[in-house]
A and B are shown apart, each in its own frame.
Chain A
Amino acid sequence: MIEINDLAVCLGEFRLRGITLSIEEGAFFALMGPTGSGKTVLLEAIAGLVPIQGGSIHLKQRDITRLPPEKRGIGIMYQDYALFPHLTVAGNITFGLRYGARDGHKAEKHFSTMVDALGIDHVLQRYPETLSGGELQRAALARALIVEPRVVLLDEPLSALDPNFREDIRAMLGEIHHSLGVTFVIVTHDFAEALSLASRAAVMHDGTIRQVGTIQDIFRKPTSSFVADFVGMKNIFAATFEQNAARLDQFALQVMGRPVNGGGHIAIRPEDITLSLSAGTALDGNCVPGVVTGIVDQGIFYEVRVSAGDQLFCTVVTKSAAFDLSLAVGMSVHLSFPPQAVHVF
């Protein structure tokens, strides 16, 4: 269990302020946020690698705020893997084994199991600069895991990899976490990555934590327009609320309730909006007429922008559906979505 309380870090111009977070033992926790929001600095603060100005960090009820990094038992793996260039892969992996009391025989066995499991036995005698991205990453992971840390911090472990590799490595990370039962904290700005690996997450922005919760809650129930935008909600509008309706400038939408703490926004995920040519007959649900103002090719689907009243909606359409509808800019369409799809905050 990691408990961070009101942590403050000041690094030149950059500040982390009022970071309060608790990460359960053995959890897979994701730290998300745009570039420059302070995710890596927070990881380094947990590992003891940056000076802390205020607050405290506890690991398993023990105060580690002032403990030097080598005494914390917290492993870190950077985005660029930071393998020692003057050592072979084997030298890198065994670097930490001489510290702390370890049974030599057990360590040796651990080493070969680890190397086998990660499939890097063929590169052990090579230097890092000759390795591929995937090999570098496995070597860095082995180096961090072999010293049996209590917590493993992963700083965007997948972002430097070829997209084709990512899924394999993602699955591998999940398996390793499952089999070791160690707490993993992963920094990512890829939502798919967080969704597939982590159970809980925090969203950071500008050196502060904006929302903490289960991945599903952050994805489905963002508490601020920043988080809503960050998790890809896209259709975020200011609204006033009356009984089960949210009033936008020129139309009202059926919703499931009011914002809990007096907010004034609604958000709808693009994939929850159905685009059709006619108004449809469903009585229960929202149907908004609009005009297509833009179609953006996103590879496997189209992102369609529809202006309705003063609002600009964003929805997604499969390529075959777009073809069937002969979708084009300037066409009149209808957007329909159930009240459950409208998130209020």
Chain B
Amino acid sequence: MGGKGAFYWVSVSCGVVVLAFILLPLYEMLTAPSPAMLAEAMRDKNVVGSIWLSIYSSVAAACIAFVVGTPLAYVLARSSFRGQQLVESIIDLPIVIPHPVVGIAILSVAGKNHWFGQLMSDVGVRIMGSTTGIITVMVFVGLPFYINAARTGFQSVSPRLEKVARSLGASMWSTFVRITFPLAWRSMLAGFIMCCARAISEFGAIVVVAYHPMTAPVLIYERFEGYGLQYSQPVAVWLVVVCLTLFLVLRTIALPARKKNP
């Protein structure tokens, strides 16, 4: 055997297989449609509308996760209480439940046969077949990603820093704003991005709760079912391109700051 042993070559070949497995289908899909087809898809109102719906509802979902998830993530990071593991497992549930099941579960609460659905419909909120329903599903599937990332971020801030801030006269709230948040915001942003990404890619649950208005994944599926692979590809390419651009922009906002401290 030469300088590099069998273990090295096994690792390298497995790495190549994994990368090829991920990149090859994506590459094929991205390069399949001609520029003319892409341009045509972009002029299609339905395509633009569905991509726009996907983007803004997933951002709305991530914003909701941020508002309701941040306090919970902080509590989970800072305190230890009985049943904490149970709470953490409950938060992870949406990751493991099959997607159509999520949709059915949400419908069973939001339907007219349930008191909650009745209440919602009385105040004029419609879940079934509405943007509200799409956002509800997206919050459901995206929350664990935000909460887990934010919790890890809070855990990485030493409690001593908060204790010192309190001893210097800062209230709990002031300590969070001036110490904890500035030190954990990058993890929170990463969680926000993950939550968005998970929300925008959701299909199974959304198709159950709201076939219309169509989000991009539903539209892609419909075109695939109705007209075949060739007609679904341009929409898929646009969705991927728009998502990647957005996430790259968000990441570049977050990354240069990491090198700011001398």
Contacts and interface: CB of A to CB of B under 8 A. Distances in A.
Interface of A: 12, 44, 47-49, 68-70, 72, 74-76, 78, 80, 82, 84-86, 95-96, 99-100, 126-127, 129-130, 143-144, 147, 149
Nearest to B174: A99
Nearest to A126: B262
B78 interface: no
A70 B179 contact: no
Contact of B163 (A44, A100, A127): A44
Interface in B108-159: 158
Contacts of B158: 82
Contacts of B164: 76, 78, 82, 84, 143
Contact of A147 (B163, B169, B171, B261): B169
B9 to A, nearest CB: 41
Given A49-B163, A75-B167, A76-B167, A127 B261 contact: yes
Given A49-B166, A70-B171, 14 more contacts: A44-B163, A68-B172, A69-B163, A69-B166, A70-B167, A82-B161, A84-B179, A85-B183, A86-B183, A95-B165, A96-B170, A99-B170, A126-B262, A143-B168
A78 B167 CA distance: 12
Contacts of A84: 161, 164-165, 179
B160 interface: yes
Interface residues of B, number: 21
B167 to A, nearest CB: 5
A68 B163 CA distance: 11
B148 to A, nearest CB: 23
Among A12, A69, A99, A143, the one with the most B-chain Cβ atoms within 10 Å of its Cβ is: A69
Contacts, number: 69
A96 B179 contact: no
Nearest to A129: B261
B210 to A, nearest CB: 42
A42 B161 CA distance: 18
B170 A70 contact: yes
Contacts of A143: 164, 168
A75 B261 contact: no
B-side interface mostly: helix
Interface of B: 80, 158, 160-161, 163-172, 174, 178-179, 182-183, 261-262
B169 A127 contact: no
Contacts of A74: 167
B186 to A, nearest CB: 11
A86 B177 CA distance: 13
6 contacts: A49-B163, A69-B167, A70-B166, A82-B158, A85-B183, A96-B168
A78 B160 contact: yes
A75 B168 contact: yes
A218 B171 CA distance: 39
A68 B167 CA distance: 9
Nearest to A96: B168
Contact of B182 (A12, A82, A86, A100): A86
B212 to A, nearest CB: 47
A219 to B, nearest CB: 31
B63 to A, nearest CB: 24
Contacts of B163: 44, 47, 49, 69, 76, 82
Contacts of A68: 166, 171-172
B160 A96 contact: no
Contacts of A85: 161, 183, 261
A12 B174 CA distance: 28
A50 B187 CA distance: 27
A127 B262 contact: yes
Contacts of A99: 168-170, 174
A95 B160 contact: no
Contacts of A129: 261
List 10 tightest A-B contacts by C-beta distance, closest first: A99-B169, A96-B168, A69-B166, A82-B160, A49-B163, A76-B167, A82-B164, A96-B169, A86-B182, A70-B169
Among B165, B169, B262, the one with the most A-chain Cβ atoms within 10 Å of its Cβ is: B169
Nearest to A127: B261
Nearest to A99: B169
Contacts of A48: 166
A72 B80 CA distance: 25
A129 B183 CA distance: 14
A321 B163 CA distance: 52
A49 B261 contact: no
A171 B163 CA distance: 27
